[in-house]
Homo-oligomer: A and B are copies of this chain.
Amino acid sequence: MPQVDEHLIDDDIDTSAWDGVPIRLRAAGLRWTPQRRTLVDVLREHQGHVTATELISRCRERDQTTTPSTVYRTLDVLEEFGLVAHGHGHDGREEYHVLPGETHGHLYCEACGRQWEIRPETGAAIVDALAADLGFEVDLSHVTISGHCQGCHD
């Protein structure tokens, strides 16, 4: 019996999005370079959240000549393609979400440092509340709300 491919279980992440990157870049008049390949190889092995700093050091493990500005610029390109999304932690530092899938915000616990995704219905409640208030259109992908998780308060 063949594997079902409509549903992927949690630890069997669909990594195929990365395969199309060289073609998508060239189609947009951009270029596929060794430096970009290094970063994409690193991202391929990741799921969930990573800081930019960690990505840079992982790249440097593979290519000792890695330069921060190149990595940041490539991350910007990949974000435009929807392959990563960044937010800012409590201290303002960048956190990247790899293969974010459906647009969503994040929760950050100031006590234990763990993160959670805001579930679609909850995100929608936030979007609706602010649309009703001032007609404000929330960019959920960039929302990181800090506070204390269930395990860390009182």
CB of A58 closer than 8 Å to a CB of B: no
Chain B nearest CB, measured from A31 CB (Å):
27
Produce 1/0 per residue, A100-132, CB < 8 A to B: 000000010110000010110010011001101
A150 smallest CB distance to B (angstroms)? 3
Q: Are A138 and B147 in contact (CB under 8 A)?
A: yes
B118–A130 CB distance below 8 A: yes
Count of identical protomers in the assembly? 2
Interface size on A, residues (CB 8 A): 33
Interface of A is mostly: mixed
Contact, CB under 8 Å: A119 / B146: no
A92-B92, A146-B143 given; A153·B130 CB < 8 A: no
Contact A129-B126, Cβ < 8 Å, known A90-B142, A135-B150: yes
Closest to A151 in B: B135
Task: Show the binding face of A for B, using Cβ within 8 Å.
Answer: 88, 90, 92-94, 107, 109-110, 116, 118-119, 122, 125-126, 129-130, 132-139, 142-143, 145-150, 153
